[in-house]
A = this chain, B = another copy of it.
Amino acid sequence: MTTTTKEARTDHYPSRKAETPSIIDRKDPVVYASGKEIPSPLTEDSVAEYERKGFVVIQDLFAESEIEMFRRELARLAVDPKMLERPEAITEPESSVLRSLFAFHLIGAGLTHLATDPRLVRIAQYLLNDDIYIHQSRLNLKQGFRGQGFYWHSDFETWHVEDGMPRMRALSMSIALTDNTAYNGSLMLIPKSHKQYISCVGETPGDNYKKSLKNQYIGVPDNDSLSTLYSGGGIRVPVGPAGSVTIFDCNTMHGSANNISPLPRSNAFVVFNAMSNRVEDPFCAQPPRPEFIASRETIRQLG
């Protein structure tokens, strides 16, 4: 816990407080680096695209052989009864099939190396222009046939309200462990949505994460606001082979459809946050979510 008291704080991105939804302009930079401090690990075009759209895809950042290793590890974990009993393991809404596994960066060996790979860390350090740590990591399996989707959401909305992340100075990397196609429930993003924050309605209930990680009902953007974002940027579905990495800003609106294809759509998802942006008390009336969902006490600076 920090020493900040709830009373003294300004909430720059209020949500789940008003009775009607609203759209708030972003108050923070997207790219923090001015380009002078440290050499960029990304091309100038990629940085510009990330700034403009709120995401950029780097093809083949990982080699097929590396991905194959992670995939084997994932297959092993997905059927490990001990792993499935842990709170970090989230199953599908209608079955006991593993849907997500949180805090994989703490499992050790290959998976820890994946989450803290210098190629990823350098990009996050550059874009956030700060020392960084892992706020959250999860393996999303989205199995074939009956894998459920994720409805539209801004990660920051939840991290701000439920975890107490003060500002937009975090980003996510989604490492494709399987091919992303037009038919297996791939990530969908709304370009330019990161510059507007949708303030949602509905009070946060206790233990909300236990439900929201299966099916999100609170912190869900309203239809009119989504239509406004869609009018501004449309929808992009990056497709490509396993090994590509989608880097997206913490406030970029994203979601995915269900996956009825026989092909799983698995990815490893890592959230890097600036050390200067460490979480405080939540911006809602509930206690903080568990450590495996949001690093609070066990912060390890990277790089």
Contact = CB atoms under 8 A, between A and B. Distances in A.
Interface centre among A181, A223, A261 (most CB of B within 10 A): A261
Contacts of A95: none
Given A183-B235, A226-B145, A237-B183, A260 B257 contact: yes
A63 interface: no
A5 B255 CA distance: 52
Interface string A72-101: 000000000000000000000000000000
A146 to B, nearest CB: 8
Contacts of A237: 182-183
A257 B255 contact: no
For this chain, the copies found in one complex come to 2
A223 B257 contact: no
Contacts of A255: 260
Nearest to A150: B260
A5 B168 CA distance: 71
A227 B262 contact: yes
B182 A230 contact: no
Contact of A260 (B144, B151, B183): B151
B182 A152 contact: no
A213 interface: no
A259 interface: yes
Nearest to A228: B262
B145 A257 contact: no
Interface string A233-258: 00101010000000000000001111
A149 interface: yes
Nearest to A144: B223
- CB-CB nearest 9 A-B residue pairs: A257-B257, A182-B182, A183-B235, A227-B262, A230-B262, A182-B237, A257-B258, A183-B188, A183-B237
Given A235-B261, A257-B258, 11 more contacts: A144-B223, A145-B223, A149-B258, A181-B235, A183-B237, A183-B257, A188-B260, A226-B262, A255-B260, A257-B257, A257-B259
16 contacts: A144-B223, A149-B258, A152-B260, A181-B235, A182-B237, A183-B188, A183-B237, A185-B257, A188-B260, A188-B261, A223-B262, A227-B262, A230-B262, A256-B260, A257-B259, A258-B258
